[in-house]
Structure 1
Amino acid sequence: MTELREAAPSAGTDLLDERTRELADYCAAMTGRLRVIGQRLDRDPDAITEFLHEPQVRFPVQGMLPPQYRSAGEFPAPLVAASSTVLGQVVATEQVAYGDPNVILASPGPSLSGGVVQALADEQQRQRYFGRLAAAPTHTFFALTEPAKGSAALELETTLTPAPGGGWLLNGAKCYIGNGARAQLGVVFCRRAPGPWGIEAVLLDTSAPGFSGELLPTVGLRGARISRLRFQDVAVAPEDLLGADRSPSRRGLYGATYILYRFRPGIAAMALGCAQAACDYLRTHRATLPRQDRHRLDGVLDRIAAVRHRTYAVAAAVDAGVVDVAGIGAVKARAARVAEDATRLVAELLGPASLIEHPWLEKTYRDVRAFELMEGTTNLHTMAAFQSLLRSRTALQPAAQRAVDGAARH
């Protein structure tokens, strides 16, 4: 077990205000206990129920809840408020993941589905959802990805068809859904009509007849409880349809993209927390390195710092109302890559038997491989960045051509 650093890494802190820096240090102080809990979850992911009373588990969830549903007085209110912003969530998530990312993913709470509810739901639906979470520990799920289509939202095959007595029937399957098989509540994306505006989001209680879920075997990040879900004539009442009072362009698909763009920097932050932890582990267990190896480690640390700075920047931009889709995807892809490279380098420099002699490193080595698959793979984010660049160049061409024509006239 490595000795943990006493405060958050400094790279990127020029983008943080005083309150957010305090939040980073507050969460950094939790990492020792989180690491102990995370190793327990790797052996038994359902053991999270043993730790739900601990502040290290409870605090990360508080910022995801609307203010009226938070635990009043349990935690410093200014820090909880800071953690409710996208930048605050990124900062807190990075520090918690430095301890162990499994704790975040295994804990009951709103996760992505809560963001969809906040974006689309009416007041009664919000009360139904968040009131339940406030009353008792409740696992939730966000069901978008499908077995044959991945997370291509425009190609969904899960259907919502009219029921004979009113309402609708939900049929189809979802795959690779975090906490799906053990959740009590969640949001399912489905198709009610052709085209992008025919996609809907429905609030679903997993006790509904026709719902079933099964756990999928996973090598790493076992706390996420990745699952496959099936829906066979699951009844969906009119009050379960999220955003029914909105125009089609401002509900189903809008809800999915709204939360994914806000959550994706947090995945990057998890990967960065693990990467930093691996490098610090190496420095603790091999304080002296040959010059070439030290340069290799410094190179990885520089990459972590650079991606951290960009992650903080895109998160702050989202808070300011600017959603840089390509930039968000780029930091997630870069963070996933540097986390893999960091654990690979640390395992190499600690020696051929490192993954046997260092159980924490072996677990982290497995865990970080999951980040490549979460919230879109690198090839998808690379394509998004290319398309953004192409659009930018296309938009600039008329102005550039005018400049050339003007120069020619003179």
Structure 2
Amino acid sequence: MTESVIQTITVEEQAKKAKKAAKVLGILTTEEKNQALRTVADALEADYQSIIAANLVDLQKGEEKGFEQAFMDRLSLNKDRIFDFAEGLRQVAELPDPIGDVMSGWTLENGLKVEEVRVPLGVIGMIYEARPNVTADAAGLALKSGNAIVLKGGSSALNSNRAIVKIIHQALENTAIPRDAVQFIDSLDREATQQLFTMKDHIDVLIPRGGASLIKAVVENATVPVLETGVGNCHIYVDQEADAEKAINILINAKTDRPAVCNAAETLIVHQNWLKEHKDLLAEACKKHGITVHGDELARAELPDVQQATEKDWANEYLSLDLAVKTVSSLEEAIEHIDLYGTKHSEAIITENTDTAKKFMQLVDAAALYHNASTRFTDGGALGFGAEIGISTQKLHARGPMGLPALTTRKYLMSGNGQVR
């Protein structure tokens, strides 16, 4: 589809096309959907160079605008990353198809048979920033779960998203899935995004994925139901009974593996007794990995080169090699800090005391909780979902990494033999 054609099509017209395509998509067989995903994956790999060329344009514009390094990392694509999200589509194809699953069933005394069955949501509106891999991930999950999707990516990744969607459309031409099942709003106009907020007649659910301001704007302004994803101010609590080597390894992985992602650790909460005993190990690890520490008074007294933490640091999703360090004297104090500043995303405790760990897991309110493991596993691919459409931090309908089941709803199907009431 050329740019001139795209500009003559309204967002409402695109949403209507998606809704029509969803009717076709909703009755396709599992194998038809799986074959389509494999075809798209093959096409993305075969034409990866065009995606990289488009991505380079976005990166150059990002450099000109002075985007931060964390943002540039999320925006950047290379052959490995493209092949990764192509492989993610193949993994989604291998996953069980939730559509048609009978969740429960029973027969009434009058002989009326009742079944609760999984069905697609219908049309998903996806609003996201920076990460062009989301274009492929979201499309794949939507199609496998029988949903059409309307994609609205951020302006910073416009060229990358165009290239990916072009390949998806071309690949779908040779499958049972209509190309209209994947709509891409190719516009820099903010009004186009605003239109998605109110299209209840054509869009069944909105999923925002990006920074706090984007999510807030969607949640506060949309009349379409929203599946809210959240930012990740993730904490690691090192208990006084934590194994030192285990604690350091987990912290460094959670902070430095990919600092710019939402499941990276942003705050270390550390028991003051553990800190006093193992401060040299912690200081050495932070220095070795280039971590800038923002600490409270006790952290500054025990560790070298620590900047004074402010209220902003406790709430900050750094997305960089910065780490806030909060010292506490008890598990209860650690939980209180998480309750105050956490974003209900991912929280971890490092301890050899199973009772302490159990209490932490029971009392901390978050989508994902870890005992003696890194927060970096809060990811659809890492947890075996193939890919994810986002990480929900709300409590209704879906929570945590959202894979295929999160993109379904249910119908009650009744079968009788003339029963009346």
TM-score higher than 0.5: no
Q: For the superposition of Structure 1 and Structure 2, which TM-score range results when normalised by the shorter chain? A: under 0.3
Structure with greater strand share of residues = 2
Higher relative contact order structure (alpha carbons within 8 Å, sequence separation ≥ 6): 2
Q: TM-score, normalised by structure 1?
A: 0.25
Structure with greater helix share of residues = 1
Q: TM-score, normalised by structure 2?
A: 0.24
